[in-house]
Amino acid sequence: MGRPKVVVIEAIAEAGVEDLSLTCDIVDAVGLPRDAVMELIVDADAIIVRSETNVDREMIEAAAELSVIGRAGIGVDNIDLEAATEHGVMVVNAPNANTISAAEHTMALLLAQARRVPEADRSLREGRWDRKKFQGVELHGKTLGVLGLGKIGTLVAQRASAFGMRIVAYDPYVAAERAKRIGVEMLDLDEVFAASDMITIHLPRTRQTENFINTASIAKMKDGVRIVNVARGGIVNEADLAQAVRSGKVGGAAVDVFDTEPTTDSPLFDVPKIVVTPHLGASTREAQDKAGIAIASAVADALAGELVPSAVNLDLGPAVSREAKPFIRLGEQLGTIFAVFAKGLPAELTVTAQGRLADEPVGPIALAVLKGALSSSSDVPVSYVNAPLIARQRGVSVTEETQHEVADYQSVIRVSGTVAGQDRTVVGTCMERKGAVLVEVDGYAIEVPLTNHMLLVRNDDVPGIIGRVGTFLGEIGANISDMVVGRSPDGAAMMMGIALDAAISHEDADTLRGLEGIAAARYIDLS
């Protein structure tokens, strides 16, 4: 296979491009018209955009080889997530790259509108010395209402506290105890509206948050409240906010994002007490460098077949720890081994994390198991993104379980299910010295390191079988890198777990199955 093709449609930091170029072929499409871009992405494995490119269904379907879309920033409302998911395309972003820049820009706008800096600057440049006309207000002693206490909202709260502000917040996903630790009081939305002298917005744009700040919600706020939006356009109704400032209900506002971007026409532009900037929240040298490097890393990981826990169109819950990360790849391998060994998929696939792993989120590992199991028996490419959809279509459900008790190992993954009336189980672990290891198959204890090419051979417990298998593999030029033999729980049969240095053909596997004393043999390709 050749190097993956990555089409960069909007400019990212040069450091990010350089990192990607180590493993990928980069195509520079920055500044090209859409029709030219559409031609370039036909065979692209990945595309990278910022906020201005509309990655719609047409674009996604035109790129038949596409496996990942990288958004160098946070918001992904310019990407059709539904279409991406349907086509198994992972959407990754750089959620932490611009948090500090966005928080600092929020504070800059909060101060600029409170002290009417842009108006005073303009007046002085026009030849007027109007000190009395531009009287402002202090932040100290005021109550700041923070809508959305995520990373950026938290940074804003911390910075506003340094100005001597009281901080209240609304976020249904943040526990009051966590907020209390950073000096923030959680309130209901209407309580935040009623208590706040100033309000900053840090919400994603969703169906629930569109038109969130409008005439009705502004009516619930204090007279003279000041509003700052450095989140996403469309959350604030621009016409309603302009009217509220004109009427005096809102004492001032600052807006960095707009319903339609780019734009040079908004009802906000004609109102003196509203400060506007052209989406500058992430426009710092530091944020651009961080975003470029972060998105390059995420795209490279996705192209390498790794699960990117922060992918936008994956719901994986809490972040994956460093200890659990190796078990994601192991889970995918165990899923493949299960499906090949069982010669099919169960209606219910159970993934159990045992030992220390039971304290980690099981969801990412279960998803990896599902991807591996489906990949071995699907005619369409299976990704982490479309695996749940394909599973539903094939009537396969996944059950996640945890057990703290485990023998012999610190942590194991157990994959089990019933196929064609037979209960099947495969178990694996990750060891510091050996890496990923298969430790059990249907009760047979076989501690064999996983390689790209494996054989599982069930045989009679009689002399000569191991030699017969070794001789056959030697005759076809298949070198054994590792072999482990285990007895069945009742001692009536044996199983060999064999790691090979290279692939063997399906015809060779069929011949192996026909040797005397061999009850079953499965060749497994994990490459």
Could you list the active site residues? 232, 261, 279
Task: Please answer whether residues 164 and 187 qualify as being in contact, where contact means their C-beta atoms are separated by less than 8 angstroms.
Answer: no
Selection from 288, 228, 257, 264 nearest residue 78 by Cα: 257
E strands of 309-374, at which residues?
348-355
Tell me the C-alpha distance between 488 and 125, whole Å.
89
The SS3 call for residue 459 is strand
Task: Please answer whether residues 468 and 517 qualify as being in contact, where contact means their C-beta atoms are separated by less than 8 angstroms.
Answer: yes
Edge-first strand listing for the sheet containing 250-255: 185-186, 166-170, 143-147, 198-201, 225-229, 250-255, 274-276
Tell me the C-alpha distance between 204 and 197, whole Å.
23
In a 10 Å sphere around its CB, with 0-12 CB exposed, 13-18 middle and 19+ buried, how is residue 265 labelled? exposed
Amino acid sitting at position 480: I
Tell me the C-alpha distance between 15 and 10, whole Å.
14
Tell me the C-alpha distance between 30 and 23, whole Å.
20
Query: Which residues face 63 on adjacent strands?
Result: none
What letter would DSSP give residue 119? H
For the chain, what's the residue count? 527
Edge-first strand listing for the sheet containing 68-71: 25-28, 5-8, 46-49, 68-71, 90-93
Selection from 230, 223, 227 nearest residue 205 by Cα: 230
Dihedral over Cα of 452, 458, 462, 468: its sign: negative
Tell me the C-alpha distance between 73 and 291, whole Å.
6
Task: Please answer whether residues 372 and 385 qualify as being in contact, where contact means their C-beta atoms are separated by less than 8 angstroms.
Answer: no
Task: Please answer whether residues 362 and 411 qualify as being in contact, where contact means their C-beta atoms are separated by less than 8 angstroms.
Answer: no
The long-range contacts involving 481-486, CB below 8 angstroms and separated by at least 24 positions, are: 481/451, 482/448, 482/449, 482/451, 483/448, 484/446, 484/447, 484/448, 485/446, 486/444, 486/445, 486/446
Selection from 263, 203, 212 nearest residue 230 by Cα: 203
Output the DSSP codes for 27-71: EE-TT--HHHHHHHTTT-SEEEE-SSS-B-HHHHHH-TT--EEEE
